[in-house]
Structure 1
Amino acid sequence: MATGLLALLDDIAALVKVSAATLDDVPTQVAKTTGKVSGIVIDDTAVTPKYVVGLDPSRELAIIWKITKKSLINKLIFLGPAALLLGFFAPQVIPYVLMVGGAYLCFEGYEKVHSMFGKHHTEQNTPAEEMQVITPEELEKERVDSAVRTDFILSAEIMAIAFATVATAPLLNQIVVLLAVAIFITLAVYGFVGLIVKADDIGVHLARKSSSPAMQGFGRGIVKFMPHFLTWLGYLGTAAMLWVGFEIILHGLPFMHHPLESFDHALGSIPVIGWLLRVLVLALGGLVLGFVVALVVGLVQKLIGKKK
């Protein structure tokens, strides 16, 4: 009996050692995954402030917290388990799921670019319509719902990429990495969004309340800088959508693996310039692909309209 108990304890100890050894790789895997989804994270961070700007300043942080909670729920309860189940029962489907998401990101990026250049034309040719009157509570709910829909799509890409990074790791590693990525990225993104949204308030407070002339000037500088920062952040988010979406699709095509490796190797001797050139090429490729997807979507909408 004692011998059997000792054997059982030895087995448990061996299992604990194996689990600890595999969990040692978790920080590295989380860092690797975070690097791979950096473009989507940038896009998520760049897109979210527009859903909060223009609402009651006293409600800004509460709104961001609402979006944060729903984003965490989506990642932890729906998207993370879905990635694990899909990876267990149909792992061959994951690259295609990623590619569909990549095509959607290219489409969204193209739509943003198109709206930037077509804004003036649209404003001149669109007839004036009666504005719908809604309460502040209804506007807040509408903004939150819209932000959560956008976040759900980006979160799905993040969790799918996170799982693809640890697909060959033990199940325990997969679960821990997905949990860590979901929590870390969500808190990092929306923490930074909160800082961006409240930066002008911080600037106003410094300009009015600080006793130091230098801090007052710094506060006024923040207030003047933030509108330009938000504009450039929007451009960066659009570029990130295009380059990340197109890169996901290229990685999903087996015949593109060698050309991508050769391209990256050619740019390896000029790190910074090479990275910028790589991003530019991928963003242009994503823009072209987004244009093609937009044409297909428009054609499908016309066909559906004719049938109706």
Structure 2
Amino acid sequence: MAGGLVALFDDVALIARAAASSIDDVGAAAGKASMKAAGVVVDDTAVTPQYVQGISAEREIPIIRRIAIGSLRNKLLIILPAILLLSEFLPWLLTPILMVGGAYLCYEGAEKIWHRLRGHSAAHGDAENHPPDEDTLVRGAVRTDLILSAEIMVISLNEVASEGFWSRAAILVVVAVLITVLVYGVVALIVKMDDAGLRLSRSDSRGVAGFGRGLVKAMPRLLAALTVIGTVAMLWVGGHILLVGTDELGWHALYDVVHHWEEAAHEATGALGGVVGWLVNTLASAVVGLVVGAVVVAVLSLTLHRRKGQKAGGAAAH
């Protein structure tokens, strides 16, 4: 009997060690996959704060919380099941679907630039005077997040493609939660920086008060910079998705040209080659994104938007 209990305890200990080892493996794989998606994580962090500009201070965190919940829902309930099933049964569909998302990001980035170049239309000006309600803001943010989250999850999936189905699922769940907490935690810190600065500015310590005033003054510039970074990020990520996608689908010419420029820049700049090569690739991706986005904006302006204008004019006439 005692021998049986000892054997049972040995078996339990063995199972526990195996489970711990599996958890460690999942954590390590999730960390590696997350690092590979770091570029898109930065883009996601840069894009999100623009959705709470002009919102009252007390509503900023609730809106960010709603967007974060929507982002987690995107990753766990939509993207994760879809990419796991596709990777198992229709892996060739992942690239075209991702390219459609990339084209949408290019469109969003190009549209923002178009509005800025036009100096804002009257309708756009009215939208600024009467900003969208919170539900509309959250829906827009979650819709954009869907594309960025899909890119993050597919990059992460590619890093663990050799794992079994359930291991892949566990790793991607960890990645989804980890990256969502990271992105929206940083976004919350950014948008509340001015409030923290205001509190610090009331400190009795001159140094702390001066630092607080500096934070308050820096906040509008930071948000303006993040708006620009977010727009460029949409073009960069969208263009890069399209570049890589066309190469994977067998259309190598454009990707090969960009890759050649990247390698040439790498070799010509010595110790800084890695950074300069990455900048060349990023710039080329952004240009591709801008061109594709501009084409989509032009097509939509000549079709859907004009049709809406005609319907509005007909309704006004009646």
The TM-score with structure 2 as length reference comes to 0.78
Q: Deviations along 1:179-204, whole A, 9 cap, x unmatched?
A: 12111111111101110111000000
Residue ranges of structure 2 left out of the alignment (5+ in a row): 1-6, 312-318
Q: 2:210 aligns with which of 204, 217, 236?
A: 217
2:239 corresponds to which of 224, 238, 246:
246
Unaligned runs of 5+ in 1: 1-5
Q: Which residue of 2 aligns with 1:82?
A: 82
Which of 172, 176, 188 pairs up with 1:182? 176
CA-CA distance at 1:28 after TM superposition: 5.1
Whole-angstrom distance in 2 between the partners of 1:171 and 1:202: 45
1:148 correspondence with 2:139: no
> Residues 50, 260 of structure 1: CA spacing in aligned structure 2 closer, same or farther, 3 A cutoff?
closer
Q: Secondary structure at the match of 2:162?
A: coil
Among 160, 164, 168, the residue aligned to 1:166: 160
In 1, the alpha carbon distance for the partners of 2:309 and 2:217 equals 50
Match of 1:237 in 2: 230
What residue in structure 2 maps to residue 3 of structure 1?
A: none
Asked if the contact 1:30/1:177 (under 8 Å) is kept, the reply is: yes
Q: Corresponding residue for 1:266? A: 264
Output the aligned Cα RMSD: 3.5
Greater alpha carbon shift after TM alignment, 236-245 vs 58-67: 58-67
How far does residue 265 in structure 1 lie from its aligned partner after superposition?
A: 3.0
Asked if the contact 1:101–1:245 (Cα under 8 Å) also holds between the matched residues in 2, the reply is: yes
Q: Which residue of 1 aligns with 2:64?
A: 64
When residues 214 and 160 of structure 1 are mapped into structure 2, their CA distance, relative to the original with a 3 A threshold, is: same
Shift of 1:278: 2.4
The structure 1 residue matched to 2:198, chosen from 189, 194, 204, is 204
Q: Residue 98 of structure 1 contacts residue 161 of structure 1 at CA under 8 Å; is this kept in 2?
A: no
2:161 match: secondary structure = coil
Cα drift, residue 274 of structure 1: 2.8
Q: Percent identity?
A: 43
Q: Say whether the 8 Å CA contact 2:47–2:233 is kept in structure 1.
A: no
1:109 is aligned to 2:109: yes
The number of equivalent residue pairs is 292
With the length of structure 1 as denominator, give the TM-score of the two structures: 0.80
Question: Within 1, Cα distance between the matches of 2:21 and 2:197?
Answer: 48
- SS of the residue 1:105 aligns to: helix
Deviations 1:71-91 (A, max 9, x none): 212211222111111111211
Separation in 2 of the partners of 1:189 and 1:201? Answer: 20
**Is 1:75–1:155's contact at 8 Å kept on the other side of the alignment?**
yes
> Which AA in structure 2 matches 1:271?
G
Distance 1:61 1:307, change over 3 A: closer
1:163 Cα deviation (Å)?
Answer: 2.2
Q: 2 CA distance for matches of 1:229 and 1:71?
A: 23
1:48-94 deviations in Å (ceiling 9; x for gaps):
22322333322322222222122212211222111111111211100
Change in 2 beyond 3 A, CA 1:195/1:112: same
- Report how far residue 263 of structure 1 moved: 3.8
Say if 2:64 and 2:184, in contact at 8 Å, map to a contact too. yes
C-alpha distance in structure 1 between counterparts of 2:96 and 2:111, whole Å: 22
User: How many Å apart are 1:157 and its aligned residue?
Assistant: 2.8
- The match for 2:296 is 293
What amino acid maps onto 1:283 in structure 2? A
TM-superposition CA deviations, 1:233-260 (whole Å, max 9, x none): 1111111211221111121223436555
